[in-house]
Structure 1
Amino acid sequence: MNFFTIPSPSSLWTTVRSGGAFNVACSFAALWAFVKVLRMLRWRVKTTQLLGPPRTSLIYGVSHDLAMSEDSGAIYERWATEYGVVYMIPSVLGQTRVVLCDPRAIAHFYARETWTYVQTPLSLVLLEETIGKGVLWAEGEAHRRQRKALTPAFSNAAIRKLTSVFYDSAYKAKGKWDTAIESSKDGDAVIEVQNWMNHISLDTVGIAGFSHDFGSLDGTPSSVTEVFDTFGSNQQASAVNEIFILLASVFPIILKIPTKRQNLFKKLAVTIEQISNKLLIRSRREKDLNIGERGEENSIMGLLIKSEGQDTELHMSEEEVMAQMKVLLFAGYETTSISLTWALIELSRHPDVQTRLREELLVFGPDPTYDQLKANLPYLDAIVHEILRLHPPVPEFARLAAADDVIPLSEPVRTVSGNMTDNISIAKGTLITISAAAINRSSAIWGPHAKEFKPDRWLTEDGIGGKAKEVQGHRHLLTFVDGPRTCLGKDFAIMEFKTVLSVLVKNFVFEMRNGPNTPVEVVRGILPRPRVVGEGGIGVPLRVRRYE
């Protein structure tokens, strides 16, 4: 006897057409809701329930407040003072995030990144749409393989060879600024420095990474800079986009909606892909014809071409090779130009610091070598790391727990039930947030002067407090994160930063156009950028004169 029969496709279609479609939809909706409830119950049982701020919005929790704030790090720090070194915040559409502000918890987290803690669905979609499935997108074994293939291009030996490229870009900018000042009647010129830092960064990464000169410093229009600059030009649109991104954190498919900003991202992706493709074709042709110098096999392009070989241990597909090129163009352009701009702003605000740095550079004499930049200019090193501390280009990171975990704490926190605990349980599916800005500028970690620009803190033994020493990132900072996903280009970026800053400060004096108290705000480009209040786009006009 048959207790049930399998309906034929035609009879199913008849059922749907006769009104069953609504019932089917309701059944799927009910099943989806049931699964969500089960996951929520499991999450609540498996995850330590922590104290935290109340929601300020039924839809956004506190996420909208953070997104619209010019200094979200200060908000995270205030909550850490109030609720403990780890706490929970209500997020979009009922989501909850765990925020880590404890050095021991953060070290544990970063040691397990790419395996236990992975990119959020939103991050994966954004990265794939913009720069492809490269080293920033990949997780686990794929990330390890891609990173290992690229590592030789960022060794000390490789960066030592690139120091001359950094100097060339800096001196090109110097020449253009000399001309502008010569044509001025007053012996100085107002120069929009952020655009120039963009040009320096783009030309440097083009030549250093791909042996390609974009010509940006020579005035050649670049589609890359045009697209990048457009992101910061409409702040009203940027504010609307924050809401768009918040909703996309729950429903990433929203990113498929063709908004103006999403169209910009697509244009950026197409622009970078076109450039990367041309450079890749040229490099393959040069390899086939044996054009180029010996030793270039450990350049970025050399390693990418080498990884295409099918019999290579660290083989990368053509899609992955293209993605690495996009990553390097994007990261090399955006982050370093932001840091250089902040450096010129802080030196203009603090003329005594600027003078002291110039004196160190002038006493040293000729342009320092790679090894001298690393070890023989302590005040330059202090200023560079103080900028990286106060103004991390990427202020916060979000990850998703791919498995259950227990995170240890350096000090106990109180749970919702009132108990004290020195570790917290994290269930699979938990969203984790770490604010680099909050950790880098925390008074509890860096002491009472944490919010001040004080390069001297890097020059004395007791300048870095005991709590700051517990932070395990580069020089106790989270600017380059930590663990398996530590920024691959960290040493490249620091050396470029030092080289360019040394040339500019040795030759020019910088002042805020309207005095040292000129207000500066943070605006939303692809990454947060500084802007002088009242300027359009990403304008940072400084008064520049030659140092005589």
Structure 2
Amino acid sequence: MGFLIVVQAIILYVFTWVLWKVSRRYLLKSPLDNIPGPPSSSFVFGNLKEIDDPKDGWGFQEMLATKWNGVVRVKGIFNENILFVFDPKAAHAVLVKDQQIYENPPFRRTYGKLLLGDGLLAVAGVQHKTQRKLMNPLFSVAHMRGLFPTFTRVTLQLRDALRNEVQHGIKELDILNWLGRAALELVGQGGLGYSFDPLVEDVPNELGEAIKKIMPSAGGFLRYSELLSLLDNLGASAVFLRRLLEVIPVQSIQKTLQTVQVLHSGCEQIYFEKKTALAAGDDAVVHQVGEGKDIMSVLLKANIEAEEEDRLPENEVIGQMSTLVFAAVDTTSTSLTRVIELLAQKQDIQSRLREEILNALDGEEALDYDQLTELPYLDAICRETLRLYAPVSMLFRATVEDTVMPLSESIIGIDGTTMKEIPIPKGTKVFVGVSASNQNTGLWGEDAKEWKPERWMENLPTDLVEARLPGVYAHLLTFGGGGRACIGFKFSQLEMKIMLATLISSFQFTLTKDHDKIFWNATRIASPSIGSGGKQPTMPINVELVARAH
């Protein structure tokens, strides 16, 4: 009975909030009203459905990036003003210079907390800095070297599994499925010290299946995340918010709740097993998967040794585990799938890459860390794919106070005013256009929309270098920038390179006869399917052994 009264109070609160959100659009003037942009297509959803449309979202974002100059005003819920930003100086202010002002939006933090717990994606301010300080060393080059034998072992398992599939000749395989399984096992062994999938046979694993489902089902929470963030700001606990979701009779929400519970319970179990092994001494640790070198084992040890004010509580350590697998699996597997597809389309580039890798192998089964990271053409292919086809096309921020956004180039307001900077009110949402920046012809040249790996083997355009884009990787915003940049980008790069080096040296990839039916959907993480809007992500590719495979 008491819970029902609370729900009724929430309904009244939400009604009042909606009424205020609607009325303030007409009662209060905003400096953002003068920023040019497309007309709203919906009173309730503004332009959000166009941005998020799986079929046409790419085209809408490209239109924003080509029709306007650096900063565009789009409309959000109840026609609130949102800025779509790809101006270099503005992006630097958002991601680096004024990053303490442009925080992860409340609705995204609540969404992250409900899905993944109190990990990096769900916290802000001092809490985020504390977590980041403890975790940064875990993703250093030195630690990646330590993980390299694990990466090599898992990747050779993938190679052997595919050899078994194609031993009798060319065969059509769903390469996305295989790469997804391998990426999950890499983050399992290298990240959590846990084996999800031996890649020998399709062995069911409840936690692994939950990880595969979490991204596709996450939309069930996202649609309600803004409302839930209001309640979160009022002090509602995660337990209360989950209970509230439990009474919403929507199948997608209920399935997501079940998936989240499996993910949380699985990560919790791994955490306590690691904690027990650590307490038992080094002999117990080295007998675990990952031999204590995996990221979470090292984090657990570092957390115990940290000063009390820097130490993370158990729930935050567990939150890092679910956050790591959530962030690392789909982004890496879809990026690798995109590379394989492109190489299947461009056989000359595939052959050149194979020659580079085989020459470096010189008859050996696998490359060492230095050999792998020093292959220039492999590096160029990875960079160019992540430039043109970033798996996540936008980053999200919101201002926690009034500020002023500087611009590299002036824009003309709706009233004809020339603006070199924009006053930004507190609470403004900002979408940083990753793809818009990575494909900006003003920075990258007229061929910015083309996939040309060789551009990375020449001097980059002067305008690009002088723009000083705030990305942590190769003048790109693919992995973000500043204190909220992707902490695992070195992990991801190592995954991509070792899998490509192993696969390209062993197999020939060609397009299937029905490849023209493949469509890349503009989902939260870009995903391929047969036909636009396909519910089952897939990428059929013909695979065969190459004569010179070792």
Same fold (TM over 0.5): yes
Alignment correspondent of 1:460: 458
Q: 1: CA distance between counterparts of 2:444 and 2:188?
A: 37
CA contact (8 A) 2:93 2:99 kept: no
CA contact (8 A) 1:406 1:424 kept: yes
Q: 2: CA distance between counterparts of 1:543 and 1:174?
A: 15
Letter in 1 for 2:79: G
1:267 partnered with 2:258: yes
Higher deviation after alignment, 173-182 or 61-70: 61-70
Letter in 1 for 2:34: Q
1:326 partnered with 2:319: no
Q: 1: CA distance between counterparts of 2:396 and 2:352?
A: 39
Q: 2: CA distance between counterparts of 1:311 and 1:247?
A: 38
Alignment correspondent of 1:522: 520
Give the match's secondary structure for 1:109. helix
Q: 2: CA distance between counterparts of 1:80 and 1:165?
A: 41
| RMSD value, Cα | 3.1
Letter in 2 for 1:52: G
Q: 2:335 aligns with which of 331, 336, 339?
A: 339
1:479-529 Cα shifts (integer Å, max 9, x gaps): 1000111111011110111001100000000011117x6342124776331
CA contact (8 A) 2:50 2:60 kept: no
Change (3 A) 1:396 1:30: closer
Letter in 2 for 1:292: V
Q: 1: CA distance between counterparts of 2:335 and 2:209?
A: 20
Alignment correspondent of 1:204: 186
Alignment correspondent of 1:373: 372
Alignment correspondent of 1:488: 487
CA contact (8 A) 1:227 1:264 kept: no
Shift of 1:206: 1.2
CA contact (8 A) 2:54 2:522 kept: no
Shift of 1:37: 5.4
Give the match's secondary structure for 1:476. coil
Q: 2: CA distance between counterparts of 1:232 and 1:381?
A: 28
CA contact (8 A) 1:522 1:529 kept: yes
Q: 1:82 aligns with which of 67, 76, 80?
A: 67
Alignment correspondent of 1:5: none
Q: Which runs of 5+ in 2 are unaligned?
A: 1-7, 232-240
Give the match's secondary structure for 2:397. strand
Alignment correspondent of 2:55: 70
CA contact (8 A) 2:213 2:259 kept: no
Identity between Structure 1 and Structure 2 (%): 26
Q: 2:285 aligns with which of 292, 296, 321?
A: 292
Alignment correspondent of 1:397: 395
Give the match's secondary structure for 1:417. coil
1:508 partnered with 2:510: no
Q: 2: CA distance between counterparts of 1:232 and 1:490?
A: 19
Q: 1: CA distance between counterparts of 2:489 and 2:423?
A: 32
1:359 partnered with 2:355: yes
Give the match's secondary structure for 1:394. coil
Change (3 A) 1:34 1:496: closer
Change (3 A) 1:116 1:543: same
Q: 2: CA distance between counterparts of 1:54 and 1:210?
A: 47
Taking structure 1 as the reference length, the TM-score comes to 0.85
1:468-483 matches, within 5 Å, as: 470=467, 471-473=469-471, 474-483=473-482
Letter in 2 for 1:221: P
Letter in 1 for 2:411: V
CA contact (8 A) 1:199 1:216 kept: no
Change (3 A) 1:194 1:33: closer
Q: 2: CA distance between counterparts of 1:214 and 1:400?
A: 37
CA contact (8 A) 1:84 1:414 kept: no
CA contact (8 A) 1:308 1:318 kept: no
Give the match's secondary structure for 1:292. helix
1:147-199 Cα shifts (integer Å, max 9, x gaps): 111112111111001112111111111111111112x3xx1111111111111
Higher deviation after alignment, 447-456 or 194-203: 447-456
Q: 1: CA distance between counterparts of 2:224 and 2:275?
A: 43
Alignment correspondent of 1:439: 437
Higher deviation after alignment, 27-36 or 272-281: 27-36
Alignment correspondent of 1:106: 91
Task: Pick the structure with greater CA Rg.
Answer: 1
Change (3 A) 1:38 1:181: closer
Change (3 A) 1:468 1:514: farther
Q: 2: CA distance between counterparts of 1:389 and 1:460?
A: 16
1:58-457 matches, within 5 Å, as: 58-70=43-55, 72-112=57-97, 115-182=100-167, 184=168, 187-218=169-200, 219-230=202-213, 245=222, 248-249=225-226, 256=245, 257-290=248-281, 291-293=284-286, 296=292, 299-308=295-304, 312-365=308-361, 366=364, 367-374=366-373, 376-457=374-455
- Matched residue pairs, number? 512
Q: 1: CA distance between counterparts of 2:134 and 2:485?
A: 15
Shift of 1:309: 6.6
Q: 2: CA distance between counterparts of 1:46 and 1:148?
A: 37
Letter in 2 for 1:500: M
Q: 2: CA distance between counterparts of 1:118 and 1:72?
A: 25
1:331-364 Cα shifts (integer Å, max 9, x gaps): 2222111111111111111111111100111111
Change (3 A) 1:528 1:35: closer
